[in-house]
Amino acid sequence: MLLIGHMGYTVGAAWAIESAARKEIAVDYRAIALMAIAPDIIDRVIFVFILPAALEGRLIAHTLVFQLAFVLALTLFRRGWWFYGIASLSHLLLDTTRLSTDWAKHLLWPLLGSEWRAVNILPGSGDITVPYNTWVWQRIQTASQPYGSGVWWVWALDIGGALILAAFAYRNALYRWPRLREFLTSGIIPGISRA
């Protein structure tokens, strides 16, 4: 799932953009971290609780069309939120580490064909043959398995994300309780006013 990797690289990118901006901007890093894993949250909820025909936890929210619509919806809801939509869209970048023809079909669904199988959904309803609570528990166990956890680069990406988060915390003195409390309350690096 690369939770730390997704959050670390996305927070790091937002931090770099905020640092390079000529004018003072206030980025809510809590929202950035949440949006970095939004596709996993959305698809895992659908996989675990809603759609028996789903094969795994990467479904429609891991497609480019969905992410672009998500950015547009956030922008229409509140003009400045496009930045948080881009954080969600950036999730797809780390997920492309599994580059393959199947992943390209998934990413570009339905542009390369509208087969549900391309987004890991079997045709039909997918029957639940055990009690619902047992089915949900089995799905939670499946969804919590990291993809490719035995592959060295998956670990390397998560470690890289953790190092970025550590650098972010150190550079912004979030090891001091008053600064950490202010950061956790507002999501903004202490000392930066909300624009």
Residues of the chain with pLDDT under 50: 195
Q: What is the pLDDT of residue 150?
A: 62
- Residue 111 pairs in a beta bridge with none
Residue 110 shares a structural domain with residue 61? yes
Residue 139 shares a structural domain with residue 156? no
Q: What is the pLDDT of residue 43?
A: 94
The parent domain of residue 128 ranges over 37-147
Residue 52 shares a structural domain with residue 131? yes
Residue 8 shares a structural domain with residue 57? no
Q: How many domains does the chain have?
A: 2
Residue 157 shares a structural domain with residue 141? no
39: preceding bond cis by omega (within 30 degrees): no
Residue 126 shares a structural domain with residue 169? no
Tokens of 123: 């045709």
Residue 15 shares a structural domain with residue 44? no
Residue 80 shares a structural domain with residue 168? no
Q: What is the pLDDT of residue 73?
A: 96
For residue 113, the SS3 value is coil
Q: What is the pLDDT of residue 45?
A: 94
pTM, two decimals, is: 0.88
Start-to-end CA span in the chain (Å): 33
Residue 131 shares a structural domain with residue 45? yes
Residue 45 shares a structural domain with residue 102? yes
Burial of 43 (0-12, 13-18, 19+ CB in 10 A): buried
